[in-house]
Amino acid sequence: MTRALLLLSSSLLGFLLMTLTQSSPIPMTDASGVQPIVRDPTALRALQARYKSLTKQLTQLIPAQPYILVDTARNHLFIKRRDRVMLDALASTGSGTMLDKPGDSNSQWIFDTPRGEFYVQSKLVNPVWVKPDWAFVEEGLAVPKNQMDRMEPGVLGEYALGFGKGFFIHGTLYTRLLGKNVTHGCIRLNDDDLKSVYQLARVGTPIMIF
């Protein structure tokens, strides 16, 4: 359902761009020298009918329950229900940078937020960050053998929502960096917005990231 929603959204956007950029077969100039787009009335009605059809299909595919939408280009997280925006939150998403893995110069960690359709798989209160290998390598430290040496409480905020493969929506100590692509792939929010997401979302809530 969510994949179809993303594909149809792209189709609708492409249709709008095509409609707006399509040149007129008979350019007409008004007194200001501007050339407005002019089309045959029959063709224009056909385009309008196509737009209404795509819009109707898009509306039918939108989940009835709240869903999370993440714009990684603008670093915003939305919670929407149908066409109503329930939350518009400034976020931070993946930086897209790379880090070489020790002993293998041909292999890297890529710190990017995954795009596509996901869903909330877990909801945690007072999460503890289990630092992965790259966190130590990035700091120039040896990777610990003791699992307890990886535990770091208090850095993810009061809540975390997991959506697979170690990625979470969580809080941050660096609120000044919200709105920027600076994370290792997770989605960061301020405390108030994170609490709202935790309260509005449930396990199974769709997440669409683009």
Q: How far apart are CA 88 and CA 98, in angstroms?
A: 29
What's the pLDDT tens digit per position in 76-92? 999 998 878 999 999 99
Same domain, 192 and 169: yes
Same domain, 31 and 85: no
Confidence of residue 17 (pLDDT cuts 50, 70, 90): very low
Same domain, 106 and 181: yes
Q: How far apart are CA 86 and CA 79, in angstroms?
A: 5
Tokens 């945690």 belong to residue: 124
Other Cβ atoms within 10 Å of 113 Cβ, number = 21
Same domain, 35 and 131: no
Q: What is the mean pLDDT of residues 87-114?
A: 94
Q: 137: which residues sit within 8 A by CB, 6+ positions away? A: 99, 101, 102, 143
What's the pLDDT tens digit per position in 112-168? 999 999 999 999 999 999 999 999 999 999 999 999 999 999 999 999 999 999 999
Same domain, 106 and 203: yes
Selection from 69, 86, 74 nearest residue 205 by Cα: 69
The confidence score (pLDDT) of residue 95 equals 97
Q: Is the dihedral of CA 166, 132, 95, 100 positive or negative?
A: negative
Same domain, 116 and 164: yes
Q: Which residues constitute the domain of residue 29?
A: 2-61
Domain final residue pick, 14, 30, 61: 61
What's the pLDDT tens digit per position in 46-63? 777 776 776 666 666 666
Same domain, 78 and 119: yes
Phi, psi at 174, each rounded to 5°: -110, 65
Q: What is the mean pLDDT of residues 37-45?
A: 66
Same domain, 98 and 198: yes
What are the start-end ranges of the H helices in 62-190? 133-138
Same domain, 205 and 102: yes
Whole-prediction pTM value? 0.73
The confidence score (pLDDT) of residue 29 equals 42
Q: In this model, does residue 103 exceed pLDDT 70? A: yes
CATH of the domain at 200: 2.40.440.10
Better pLDDT: 92 or 103:
92
Same domain, 104 and 205: yes
**Which residues pair with residue 67 across a beta bridge?**
80
The confidence score (pLDDT) of residue 179 equals 97
Other Cβ atoms within 10 Å of 94 Cβ, number = 21
Confidence of residue 24 (pLDDT cuts 50, 70, 90): very low
Confidence of residue 21 (pLDDT cuts 50, 70, 90): very low
Q: 34: which residues sit within 8 A by CB, 6+ positions away? A: none
Contact 132, 149 (CB under 8 A): no
Outline where DSSP puts E strands in 93-191. Answer: 93-94, 97-101, 104-111, 116-119, 122-125, 128-130, 151-153, 159-162, 168-170, 181-183, 187-188
Same domain, 83 and 57: no
The confidence score (pLDDT) of residue 53 equals 73
Same domain, 51 and 122: no
Contact 183, 111 (CB under 8 A): yes
Domain count, the chain: 2
Q: How far apart are CA 47 and CA 21, in angstroms?
A: 13
